[in-house]
């Protein structure tokens, strides 16, 4: 099954008035969201490497919302219950090993793609995160730093 997004009132207002100062790539994704295209169809039209992240940011900021689900035969289905957020992380039982693996991955990718200069504060917060939820709060910042780097693009 595929998910279909639609603009909220805030999203429509942003297209008309440009109050939020969205970047050109994010704005382009918002423009193409029409309540009819699935995420896979958007992927072919927008050609964005970080489409899911962009959709997640737009959803979290209230510009878009999940409107429906496309069934296996291509029919639009209205959800019987609220759909989960596209940015929702899978909940895991507290596992110190998994948490350390996530921490190591975030730190190693920062060092590899960006280097240590300019990311010391973020690295320190990743190192001192005491739970998975604390690491999750750093995800957007970490992702932005990675994809903003020359090698991360």
Q: In CATH, what number is assigned to the domain containing residue 65?
A: 1.10.10
24, containing H or E segment: helix 24-32
Distance CA 77, CA 72 (A): 10
Of 17, 44, 77, the residue that ends a domain is 77
Q: Do 14 and 69 reside in the same domain of the chain?
A: yes
Of 43, 77, 111, the residue that ends a domain is 77
Per-residue confidence (pLDDT) for residue 32, from 0 to 100: 94
Interacting residues of 25 by C-beta distance below 8 A, sequence separation 6+: 48, 54
Residue ranges with strand state E in 8-73: 64-70
Per-residue confidence (pLDDT) for residue 9, from 0 to 100: 95
Q: Among 120, 121, 110, which residue's Cα sits nearest to residue 152? A: 110
Contact 103, 138 (CB under 8 A): no
Residue ranges with strand state E in 19-100: 64-70, 76-77
Q: Do 103 and 135 reside in the same domain of the chain?
A: yes
Per the document, the length of the chain is 153
Contact 9, 62 (CB under 8 A): no
Domain count, the chain: 2
Of 48, 77, 106, the residue that ends a domain is 77
Per-residue confidence (pLDDT) for residue 81, from 0 to 100: 53
Per-residue confidence (pLDDT) for residue 85, from 0 to 100: 53
Per-residue confidence (pLDDT) for residue 31, from 0 to 100: 94
Contact 69, 2 (CB under 8 A): yes
Residues of the chain with pLDDT under 70: 1, 71, 74-93, 152-153
Q: Do 69 and 110 reside in the same domain of the chain?
A: no
Per-residue confidence (pLDDT) for residue 63, from 0 to 100: 94
Per-residue confidence (pLDDT) for residue 90, from 0 to 100: 54
Per-residue confidence (pLDDT) for residue 66, from 0 to 100: 85
Which residue range forms the structural domain that includes residue 55? 2-77
Contact 55, 46 (CB under 8 A): no
Distance CA 12, CA 9 (A): 5
Q: Do 37 and 64 reside in the same domain of the chain?
A: yes
Which residue carries 């100062």 as its tokens?
A: 21
Is 91 among the domain residues? no
């Amino acid at each position: 099954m595929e998910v279909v997004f639609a603009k909220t009132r805030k999203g429509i207002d942003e297209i008309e008035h440009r109050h939020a100062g969205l970047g050109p790539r994010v704005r382009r994704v918002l423009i193409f969201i029409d309540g009819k295209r699935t995420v896979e169809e958007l992927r072919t039209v927008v050609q964005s490497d970080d489409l899911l992240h962009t959709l997640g940011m737009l959803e979290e900021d209230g510009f878009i919302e999940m409107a429906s689900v496309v069934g296996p035969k291509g029919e639009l289905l209205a959800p019987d219950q609220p759909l989960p957020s596209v940015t929702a992380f899978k909940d895991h039982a507290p596992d110190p090993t998994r948490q350390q693996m996530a921490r190591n991955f975030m730190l190693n990718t920062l060092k590899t793609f960006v280097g240590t200069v300019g990311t010391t504060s973020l690295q320190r917060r990743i190192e001192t995160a005491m739970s998975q939820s604390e690491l999750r709060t750093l995800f957007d910042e970490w992702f932005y730093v990675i994809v903003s780097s020359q090698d991360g693009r």
